[in-house]
Amino acid sequence: MSYDLGAVVPLGTTVRDSAGALANAGDMTLIITLPDQSTLTVPSVTPASTGTYAYDYPAVQAGRHAVRWVATGVNAGAYADVFDVRPAAPPMLFSLAAAKAKLDIPATSTSADEELREFIEATTQCVEFFVGPVVQRTVQQVVPGGRAALVLHTTPVLAVTAVVPLLAGQSAIDTAGLDIDPSTGIVRQTSGACFPCGDYRTTYTAGRSAVPPNVSLAAKLILQHLWRTNYGAARGLAGVGGGEDFAVTEPIPGLGYAIPNRALQLLQGDSQPGGFA
C-alpha cells in the first residue's frame, strides 16, 4: 500500500533465535533510504516487546523508500523492505466516494479504502494513456529556441508559467507575451518574433480544467473492470459488473486485457496519437 505525504508510516521487524522463538538482538539499527537517495539512520532501536521492533516514520518525501533493519551482536540478522509515499496531490480522476458508489460499496465500509485508492490511481493512468493528461499537473520540458514556435509534448496545455534560458547570455522570455494552442502545445510570441537561439527550460500546466463526462464514465467502467479481479472465480457475475465484456478477446497495445471495450468506445473521441485510435 502507499502512504500519504505527511502521514506516519509504521515500520517494524521481528528477531528470532536459532530455535525460532522471538528474542532480542544485541543491537538494532534502522536505515531508511529516501527517494532523493539521502538516508536516515536510527541507531539502537529499542524493542517494543521481546523480539519485536517498531518505528513510526513521518513521510517527508513522495516516492519509493527503501528500509533496512540490521541486527548485530546476539541473534544478528537483517531485513529489507520498501514502501511508497504518494505526492501531495496524487493523480486521481474521481474521488474515493465516487469509486465506492460505482462499486456499490457502502460509504460506512472503510476496510478496502486504501486498496481502492490505488485502483483509482491505476485507472487514471490507464485513461490518460489514451486521452493524455486529464488531472492537472506541472510539467517541465527543455525546448530548443531559434525558431518561430516552441512545441510542448504534454497536452492539453493550460498555461505556461516560465521559460528560463539554460545558458548565460540567452535572452529571457516574457510569458505574458505568449500565445498557446492548448491542443497542440504550440507556443508562439504574440509579437511575431522568433524565439532566440538556445535551449529553454519551460514550465507549464497540462491537463483539463473539467473532466468530460465520457472520460469520467469510461474511468469508472475501467475501475469496475479491474476491481472484479478481487472476486476470483466469481468476477464474471453480473452482480459485480461482469458479463460478456469481461472476456476482452483482443488485447489493447500497452495494456493487455485491462480495458473493457465499452470504455474504449467512450474514450475514442478524445484519444491522442499513441493511444486508442
Instruction: Indicate the pLDDT class of residue 169, thresholds 50, 70 and 90.
Output: confident
Averaged pLDDT, 1-10: 94
**Is 194's pLDDT higher than 70?**
yes
Q: Which helix (H) or strand (E) holds 70?
A: strand 63-72
Instruction: Give the mean model confidence (pLDDT) for residues 166-172.
Output: 86
For residue 234, pLDDT beyond 80 = no
Contact between 8 and 55 (Cβ < 8 Å): no
Is residue 26's pLDDT more than 50? yes
Cell digits of residue 158: 493550460
Calculate the average pLDDT of the chain: 89
Are the beta carbons of 162 and 208 closer than 8 angstroms? Answer: no
Query: For residues 79 and 231, which has the higher predicted lDDT (pLDDT)?
Result: 79
Q: Can you tell me the distance from the alpha carbon of 208 to that of 135, in angstroms, rounded to the nearest whole number?
A: 6
CA–CA dist 165, 4 (Å, integer): 35
User: With 50 as the cut, is the pLDDT of residue 276 above it?
Assistant: no
pLDDT at 170: 86
For range 81-85, the mean pLDDT: 97
**pLDDT tens-digit series, residues 122-139:** 999 999 999 999 999 999
Average pLDDT over residues 238-251: 52
What mean pLDDT comes out for the span 39-61? 98
CA dihedral 186, 191, 197, 202 (to 10 degrees): -50
What is the pLDDT at residue 187?
97
Specify the pLDDT at position 233. 46
Residue among 233, 216, 228 at smallest CA distance from 258: 228
Cβ–Cβ < 8 Å for 200, 143: yes
Mean pLDDT of the region 108-116: 95
> SS in 3 state form for 248-262?
CCCCECCCECCCCHH
* The C-alpha cell that represents 163 in the structure block: 521559460
More confident residue, 48 or 235: 48
Which range among 78-82, 201-205, 216-220, 228-232 shows the weakest confidence by mean pLDDT? Answer: 228-232
Cβ(30)–Cβ(69) below 8 Å: yes
pLDDT at 277: 37
Cell 474515493, located at residue: 96
- pLDDT (tens digit per residue) in 171-192: 889 999 999 999 999 999 999 9
**243 class by beta-carbon count within 10 Å (0-12 exposed, 13-18 middle, 19+ buried):** exposed
Q: Using CA atoms, how far apart are residues 49 and 235, in angstroms rounded to an integer?
A: 42
